[in-house]
Amino acid sequence: MIDRINVTSQIRAALRRSQIVLLLGPRQCGKTTLARAFVSSDSGAYFDLESPDDLARMSQPMTALAPLRGTVVIDEVQRIPDLFPLLRVLADRKPLPARFLVLGSASPEMLRQSSESLAGRVEIVQLGSLTLAECGANTREKRWIRGGFPRAFLSRSANDSSAWMTNFISTLIERDLHFYDARLASGLVRRMWTMFAHYHGQTTNYSSIASSLGTPASTVRHHLDLLSGLLLVRQLQPWFENIGKRQVKSPRLYFRDTGMLHSLLGIHSAKSLLSHPRCGASWEGLVVEEILTSVPHSDAYWWSTQQGAEIDLVLFHKGKRFGVEVKRADAPSVTPSIRIAKEALSLKQVTIVHPGAKSYPLAKGIKAVGIDELIRTPTCIYEP
């Protein structure tokens, strides 16, 4: 088991501040394991709504929940979406006898219901797959290839990890997604996911994907939004403003877990990864997700112009803008694209993250940072 100290601290602090904490993340990312650190699964204050016994206990939710004291855990809350109005009533009691740690997948519908029913009472904590920092710098390549879902990363062998991820994706497509959207056939969904994987790290072209699949662009857009809501993919929105340049205004698509990406691309070993044409995009996605998970920021975007200038991340932090470019090169250099981005967007600093060990300045306001330093000190992106 890997200790997820930062997330545990976030949950503990949120439980002190708020009546209800909503822990959101994809299936099998470790939500249940974290919740059991707060309340034992054998406790009467723990409800797993995929368990028939616990589901039966919740047939009369007010009777089951009202007498409880301390921290109460409700896992897989999306199974009973009508529970949120009741939680509002329980959260408004004075004095407050119990606080609720609620676990679920971040579907758009569930977020809408929770925001409407629990406004001012709920704090949301997102949980993704294991970060590079949580896994340890010495396991960086293993984490890149296998991804960060705990059971994939901790498998005894690469073959076991690959088999688990293949089965996991099949379960998501054939069972779980029908809970949110039963309109699409499993075969079409699998082809769509594979197409998304080939767009990893690129601008999303809904029409091109739809044309390849023989389905309406609105279907592709809807399904991609669903996967974003389930925290399986990230649609990184573009930053644009009136700067006298024609700018790209479409999101960039990333799978949030590289193990899932590699499985969909048919990559099952380090050798096949390093020779694959999407290798650079895979490493870029790994670093982008690490930064967006570990580095404090208020907003994050990507930026590109029609003329080809671009930068992978524009981070807003304490009223200033910072740029991040990810390069899979041992000795990155300052490109014209980076200089254009720095000037056009008034970036306080640009950091080029690379897989090498050394960090060093490249030009005024531009520096190279090795991935190991980023893992040790995420805020180095904001330091001169």
Helices 258-265/186-198 angle, 10° precision: 110
Q: What is the pLDDT of residue 110?
A: 65
Residue 107 binned pLDDT confidence (cut-offs 50, 70, 90): low
Q: Please tell me the distance from the alpha carbon of residue 189 to that of residue 8, in angstroms, as a whole number.
A: 34
pLDDT for 175: 83
Q: What is the pLDDT of residue 78?
A: 81
Mean local confidence (pLDDT), 77-87 = 86
Instruction: DSSP for 119-133, please give it.
Output: TTTEEEEE--SPPHH
Instruction: Give the start-to-end residue ranges of the domains of the chain.
Output: 5-126, 136-286, 295-384
Across the beta sheet with 46-48, the strand order is 46-48, 70-75, 98-104, 20-24, 122-126
Query: Could you report the per-residue pLDDT of 8-30, keeping only the tens digit for each?
Result: 999 999 999 999 999 999 989 99
pLDDT of residue 219: 92
pLDDT at residue 111 greater than cutoff 80: no
Cα within 13 Å of Cα(279), Cβ side: 13
DSSP states along 26-42: -TTSSHHHHHTTTS-TT
What pLDDT is attached to residue 170?
95
Give CA separation, 168 vs 12, 164, 171, 174, 263, in Å: 30, 6, 5, 10, 10
Burial call 271-281: b when 16+ CB within 10 Å, e when fewer: eebeeeebbeb
pLDDT tens per residue, range 325-362: 999 998 899 999 999 999 999 999 999 999 988 899 99
Question: Running DSSP on this structure, what letter comes out for residue 148?
Answer: S
- Calculated CA dihedral for residues 78, 79, 84, 86, nearest 10 degrees: -160
Does 246 score more than 80 pLDDT? no
pLDDT, position 244: 58
- Residue 105 confidence (pLDDT): 76
pLDDT band at 308 (very low <50, low <70, confident <90, very high): confident
Q: Do domains 5-126 and 295-384 have the same CATH topology?
A: no
Q: What is the pLDDT of residue 182?
A: 63
Return left, alpha or beta for 87; rule: phi > 0 is left, psi -120 to 50 is alpha, else beta: alpha
Distance CA 321, CA 317 (A): 6
Alpha carbons 300 and 313: distance in angstroms, whole number: 7
Q: Measured in whole angstroms, how far is the alpha carbon of residue 44 from the centre of its chain?
A: 31
Tokens of residue 83, six digits: 């529970």
Asked whether the whole model's pTM tops 0.85, one would answer: yes
Rounded Cα distance, 31 and 8, in Å: 10
pLDDT grade, residue 243 (50/70/90)?
A: low
CA 281 centroid distance within chain: 17
Q: What is the mean pLDDT of residues 303-319?
A: 91
133: amino acid identity, one letter: A
Task: Judge whether 29 and 149 are in contact, CB under 8 Å.
Answer: yes
CB 217 within 8 A of CB 210: yes
Q: Of the given ranges (54-63, 128-137, 174-183), which has the lowest mean pLDDT? A: 174-183
pLDDT digits (tens, 9 = 90+) for 194-242: 999 999 999 999 999 999 999 999 999 999 998 998 899 999 999 987 6
Question: Going along the chain, which residue ranges are E strands?
Answer: 20-24, 46-48, 70-75, 98-104, 122-126, 202-203, 233-236, 252-255, 299-304, 310-317, 320-326, 349-354, 360-363, 366-370
CATH of 295-384 given 3.30.2000, 3.90.79, 1.10.10, 3.40.1350: 3.40.1350
User: For 230-257, what is the HEC assignment?
Assistant: CCCEEEECECCCCCCCCECCCCEEEECC
Q: What is 5-126's CATH number?
A: 3.40.50.300
Residue 115 has pLDDT above 70, yes or no: no
Residue-wise pLDDT for 184-202, tens only, equals 888 999 999 999 999 999 9
Predicted local confidence at residue 108, as pLDDT: 59
Per-residue model confidence (pLDDT) at position 95: 93
Neighbours of 328 (CB within 10 A): 17
Token pair in block for residue 337 = 């694209």
Q: Identify the pLDDT of residue 231.
A: 92
Q: Is the predicted pLDDT of residue 80 greater than 90, yes or no?
A: no
Peptide bond into 95 cis (omega under 30): yes
Percentage of residues in the chain having pLDDT higher than 70: 95
User: For 252-298, how does the pLDDT look when each residue is reduced to its tens digit (9 = 90+)?
Assistant: 999 999 999 999 999 999 999 999 999 999 999 999 999 999 999 99
Average predicted confidence (pLDDT) for the chain:
92
